Amino acid sequence: MQKLRDKVALVTGGNSGIGLAAAKAFAAEGAQVVITGRRRTVVDQAVQEIGFGALGIDGDVADPAHHAHVAEEVTRRFGPLDIYMANAGVNQITHSADVSEAEYDMQFGINARGVFFGVQKMVPILRDGGAIILVGSLASEKVLAGHAVYAGSKAAIGAFARSWAIELKDRGIRVNVLSPGPVDTAILEKLGVPPEERASFTAAMAAGIALGRLGGPDELARAALFLASDASSFVTGINLRVDGGMALL
């Protein structure tokens, strides 16, 4: 039997990487999937990849009005929401001494503000007993060079999750954090790694991971599916590290 049959699932940043992999996994398990992303053309392409009647909505997650619009569309088309995965995020690696105000505001705007107001706008349409998954990062616990601002924005997510797990307990809504370690996605290119240096960059990163390799998007998607489904029905307020043991080294 499909694990998410007749459920409605919304994934922000579902047009690429971990978000797209999770959206595909949710749809394959019977969920009506809605994804959001910044660029319309990329969102449309992702919808085609997901299939199963997925819906794509473009917009800026840092804007609370965008989340209000998404909530209205989901309700109008599908009724109550069952699963909300706040996945959209951005990382710009810069030493603290060189971080500009614009760079700081961008990362906190998307990674923290976007998550906070996304959840605020979705909770009213979320069905009792639903699941909220916030995508954090290993960087919030392990010091990584040039990640101070990113780590701070992701650490905020952990604090949000703990508060919301208590605030929403009377409705049976579970709130958990999924914290990836390095994952082999297109984000490596976004971080400015040239194609000719990707192999050496990946090898250097893998050397700091207990399992000796980067994670795959599908591996994170399976962890997200666990947190979204009844398999985790007695799990709330946790930070699930899916990092290949990197936090141990």
Q: What percent of the chain has pLDDT over 70?
A: 97
CA of residue 93 relative to chain centroid, distance:
19
Mark whether 84 is an active-site residue.
Answer: no
- Could you say which of 116, 117, 150, 226 is catalytic? 150
Pairing, β 174-180 against β 126-135: parallel
> What gap in Å lies between CA 25 and CA 22, rounded to an integer?
5
- The first and second tokens of residue 174, run together, are 């579970």
What's the average model confidence in pLDDT over 184-202?
A: 75
> What gap in Å lies between CA 192 and CA 239, rounded to an integer?
29
Nearest to 88 by CA among 167, 187, 216, 191: 187
Q: Is 34 helix (H, G, I), strand (E, B) or coil?
A: strand
Q: What is the pLDDT of residues 58-67, one digit of tens each?
A: 999 999 999 9
Cβ-based burial of 124 (10 A; exposed 0-12, middle 13-18, buried ≥19): exposed
Give the burial string for 192-209 (b: 16+ CB within 10 Å, else e).
eeeeeeeeeebeebbeeb
> What gap in Å lies between CA 122 and CA 3, rounded to an integer?
22
pLDDT at 188 over 80: no
DSSP 3-state percent helix, strand, coil across the chain (nearest 5): 50, 20, 30
Encoded amino acid at 47, one letter: V
- Architecture per CATH, domain 8-248, reads as 3-Layer(aba) Sandwich (3.40)
> What gap in Å lies between CA 180 and CA 192, rounded to an integer?
20
pTM: 0.95
**How many CB atoms neighbour CB 216 within 10 A?**
14
**How many CB atoms neighbour CB 48 within 10 A?**
9
Residue 226, C-beta contacts closer than 8 angstroms, at least 6 positions apart: 232, 240
Phi, psi of 183 (to 5 degrees): -125, 140
Phi, psi of 205 (to 5 degrees): -65, -45
pLDDT at 39 over 70: yes
Encoded amino acid at 177, one letter: V
What's the average model confidence in pLDDT over 112-131?
A: 98
> What gap in Å lies between CA 116 and CA 130, rounded to an integer?
17
The pLDDT score that the predictor gives to residue 139 is 95
Nearest to 184 by CA among 207, 205, 208, 210: 205
What's the average model confidence in pLDDT over 103-114?
A: 98
Reported as a pLDDT band with limits 50, 70 and 90, residue 248 is: very high
Torsional sign, CA 202, 203, 207, 209: positive
